[in-house]
Amino acid sequence: MTTASSADHPTRRDFLFVATGAAAAVGGAAALWPFISQMNPDASTIAAGAPIEVDLSPVAEGQDIKVFWRGKPIYISHRTKKQIDEARAVPVASLPDPQPDDARVKAGHEQWLVVIGICTHLGCIPIAHEGNYDGFFCPCHGSQYDSSGRIRQGPAPANLPVPPYNFVSDTKIQIG
Ligand code: FES
């Protein structure tokens, strides 16, 4: 009798099992989103420019999250000590858009970088944790930003903008 092992030839049953698992993960994320979003004003109020509050406590060191404010993607990076040290070691005058790191973060909260995630070249969305500078990489034309969101290489003329925000507690910011 000839038998085919499922390890050699994944069966339809194997596929269904994997597909079901993926659907469950997506369902879980979808279920979580309304819960998170209900903590903020409704979409039309946000679109009109209302401030939003973001809880930073789930964001581990080295991670970043993306939220939306006024329809714009905002990156919030929980920087590592290495990323902070790298950002501060750069001679500011050598930068295309000279700005010291401490002018781009809040004193006492240097581990948090908050920037508008829109490339200053032609408006693509850069990718976090990519590129040569421990920061952001824009796949459209190759602009690279460092761990302070400052332009370091490529055609973009300016740093990623820092939106208006404040710390309302050690683990919560208000953007806008
Ligand atoms: S839009 Fe980002 S490099 Fe051109």
pLDDT tens digit string along 130-173?
999 999 999 999 999 999 999 999 999 999 999 999 999 999 99
pTM: 0.76
Q: List the structure tokens of 33.
A: 């989103």
| Residue pLDDT, tens place only, 32-84 | 544 444 556 666 766 677 899 999 999 999 999 999 999 999 999 999 999 99
Rounded Cα–Cα distance for residues 15 and 139 (Å): 33
User: Residue 8 has what pLDDT?
Assistant: 44
What per-residue confidence (pLDDT) applies to 49? 77
Determine whether 141 is an active site residue: yes
Q: CA-CA distance, 100 to 90, in Å (whole number)? A: 9
Instruction: Say if residues 53 and 67 touch (Cβ distance below 8 Å).
Output: no
Per-residue pLDDT band at 10 (split at 50, 70, 90)? very low
Q: What's the rounded Cα separation, in Å, for the pair 160 and 113?
A: 11
Residue with tokens 């460092």: 146
CA gap 145, 92 in Å, rounded = 14
Q: What pLDDT is attached to residue 103?
A: 98
Tell me the C-alpha distance between 111 and 130, whole Å: 18
CA gap 52, 66 in Å, rounded? 13
Report the residue among 141, 152, 159, 160 best suited for mutation to probe ligand 1: largest number of ligand atoms under 8 A from its CB. 141
pLDDT at res. 46: 64
**What is the spatial distance between Cα 166 and Cα 40, in angstroms, rounded to a whole number?**
16
Backbone φ and ψ of 55, nearest 5°: -85, 120
Q: Is the pLDDT of residue 118 over 80?
A: yes
Pairing mode, if any, of strands 72-78 and 52-55?
unpaired
CB 149 within 8 A of CB 113: yes
CATH H-level superfamily of 47-175: Rieske [2Fe-2S] iron-sulphur domain (2.102.10.10)
How far apart are the CA of 154 and the centre of ligand 1, in A?
Answer: 8
C-beta of residue 175 within 8 angstroms of C-beta of residue 52:
yes
Q: What per-residue confidence (pLDDT) applies to 72?
A: 95
Domain boundaries, the chain: 12-41, 47-175
Give the pLDDT band (50/70/90) at residue 119.
very high
Q: Whose CA is nearest to atom 3 of ligand 1?
A: 141
Q: In this structure, what token pair is assigned to residue 38?
A: 């209900």
Instruction: Compute the residue count for the chain.
Output: 176
Q: Ligand 1 test: best mutation among 124, 137, 153, most atoms within 8 Å of CB?
A: 124
